[in-house]
Amino acid sequence: MTAVPHNIEHRTRANGIEIAWDSFGDPSAPPLLLIMGLGAQMVAWDDAFCARLAEAGGYRVIRFDNRDIGHSTYLPQLGVPDIQALMLQAMAGKPLQAPYTLRDMANDCIGLLDALKIERAHIVGASMGGAIGQELAIHHPQRMHSFTSIMSTTGSPGLPPPTPEAMAVLFSPSPTTFEAYLPHHAKVWRVLRGPDAFPLDEARDAERAQLTFLRGLNPGGVARQLAAIFASGNRKPALRDVRVPTLVIHGDVDPLVPVACGVDVADAIPDAQLLRIPRMGHALPIPMWPQIVGAIAAHTAHAAQHRDH
């Protein structure tokens, strides 16, 4: 691979908050925006993954910290929601109140695109980021060239739940010292990657944990993001009207968002393509990068070609 330019981190005012972002590739190339998941900083999109994507598709790949995480604005003034109470209300079918919703987080994406003077972008979202991408496809399709939803869900009731182990790591509080955070981070990803061992990723866990810890943890922000997921409900009826060219990527051993959820996303969006990846859990393991990057590059190229004719 040739060296891909990496534009240093910036903080930009967007949608009333500050959003931290950086980019890979030629700044004048067509933009592709990466949206990360619950409690995950933009660096969860690995530098090398972003560089591969920029090179494979000829794109300016932009990643950013969602609100309440990493170097973007924290919102402690909105309080810390009672997640257990919200879950009970959700199971009872009651309307939920949350500090903000996934639609608000989608509006952060639009604010960032506006601030960067980007009219339209290819959108790639992972997990909660995929749900935010769905909100974009529902409410702001004119800003999207294409959409790739990775390991996400429509939020439709009746879909399979996470495994008990995945649920346990999702709700386990992050330790506040690095010495305790290091094994915690390794355990979380061991569970989320699924039953197979991924030595290349396991060898990087300590480095990734340190990067995440040094950029800053925000437990209250994670709780507010989780409340946003619960309060945003079922997107499936609205997704039936989406016409953005869509690719759905899902691992067939995902313990947190089971593969049936990905199938449901692909079923909901007209003409969506589904790529099931064997042995992939709720992670983007290094051995799967060529397949994932190749699929995204082919999808975005097809969408661009289709648009130009």
pLDDT value of position 88: 87
Domains, the chain, ranges and CATH? 6-164+219-308 (3.40.50.1820)
CB 138 within 8 A of CB 242: yes
Cα–Cα distances in angstroms (integers) from residue 281 to residues 14, 133, 197, 259, in the given order: 33, 20, 11, 9
Longest dimension (CA), the chain: 56
Task: Express each pLDDT in 225-278 by its tens digit.
Answer: 999 999 999 999 999 999 999 999 999 999 999 999 999 999 999 999 999 999
pTM above 0.85, yes or no: yes
pLDDT value of position 143: 98
CB 169 within 8 A of CB 188: yes
Say whether pLDDT at 134 is over 90: yes
Task: Express each pLDDT in 42-80 by its tens digit.
Answer: 999 999 999 999 999 999 999 999 999 999 999 999 999
Reading phi first (left if > 0) and then psi (alpha if -120 to 50, else beta), residue 144 is in beta
In this prediction, residue 309 has a pLDDT band, given cuts at 50, 70 and 90, of very low
Q: How far is CA 95 from its chain centroid? A: 25
Arithmetic mean of pLDDT over the chain: 95
